[in-house]
Amino acid sequence: MSAISPDPQPVIDGRGGTILGPRNVPIELENPDVLISPTTDAGTVPNLKWPFALSHNRVLSGGWARETTTRELAISTEIAGVNMRLTPGGIRELHWHKEAEWAYVIAGSCRISILDEEGRLFIDDVSVGDLWYFPAGLPHSIQALADGVEFLLVFDSGDFSENETFLITDWFNHTPREVLAKNFGVAESAFDNLPTDIGHTRYMFAGEVPPALADDAPGPPATQPPQSFTWHMHAQEPTKTPGGQMRVTDSRNFTVSERIAAALIEIEPGGVRELHWHPNADEWQYYLKGQGRMTVFASGGKSRTFDYQAGDVGAVPFAMGHYIENTGDETLVFLEMFRSDHFADVSLAQWMGVLPPELVKAHLNLDDDVIAGLPRTKPGMVA
Binding segment for Mn ion among 196-204, 278-286, 288-296, 374-382 (CB under 5 A)?
Answer: 278-286
Q: 212: how many CB neighbours lie within 10 A of its CB?
A: 9
Binding segment for Mn ion among 15-23, 198-206, 280-288, 301-309 (CB under 5 A)?
Answer: 280-288
Nearest residue to Mn ion on Cβ basis: 101
For residue 93, state whether it binds Mn ion (rule: CB under 5 A).
Answer: no
**Three-state SS across 10-44?**
CEECCEECCCCCCCCHHHHHHCHHHHCCCCCCECC
- Cα distance between residue 228 and residue 341, in whole Å: 16
In contact, 165 and 96? CB cutoff 8 Å: yes
Find the catalytic residue in 30, 266, 268, 336.
336
CB of 130 to Mn ion, least distance (A): 16
CB of 353 to Mn ion, least distance (A): 19
Binding segment for Mn ion among 12-20, 27-35, 198-206, 282-290 (CB under 5 A)?
Answer: 282-290
* Total of chain residues touching Mn ion, rule CB under 5 A: 2
CB of 92 to Mn ion, least distance (A): 7
- Cα distance between residue 234 and residue 236, in whole Å: 5
Q: 107: how many CB neighbours lie within 10 A of its CB?
A: 12
- Cα distance between residue 345 and residue 245, in whole Å: 15
Residue nearer to Mn ion on the CB measure, 101 or 325: 101
Instruction: Name which position in 101, 250, 282, 325 contacts Mn ion (CB under 5 A).
Output: 101
The residues facing 142 across adjacent strands are 92, 112
Nearest Cα to 91, choosing from 254, 261, 205?
A: 205
CB of 296 to Mn ion, least distance (A): 10
Q: 27: how many CB neighbours lie within 10 A of its CB?
A: 12
For residue 325, state whether it binds Mn ion (rule: CB under 5 A).
Answer: no
| Alpha-carbon separation of residue 135 from 96, 120, 298 (angstroms) | 10, 14, 33
336 is catalytic: yes
Question: Within a 13 Å sphere around the CA of 188, how many CA atoms are in the beta-carbon half?
Answer: 6
For residue 162, state whether it binds Mn ion (rule: CB under 5 A).
Answer: no
Residue nearer to Mn ion on the CB measure, 19 or 319: 319
Residue nearer to Mn ion on the CB measure, 266 or 283: 283
Residue nearer to Mn ion on the CB measure, 101 or 307: 101
For residue 307, state whether it binds Mn ion (rule: CB under 5 A).
Answer: no
Binding segment for Mn ion among 101-109, 119-127, 168-176, 203-211 (CB under 5 A)?
Answer: 101-109
Catalytic site residues?
336
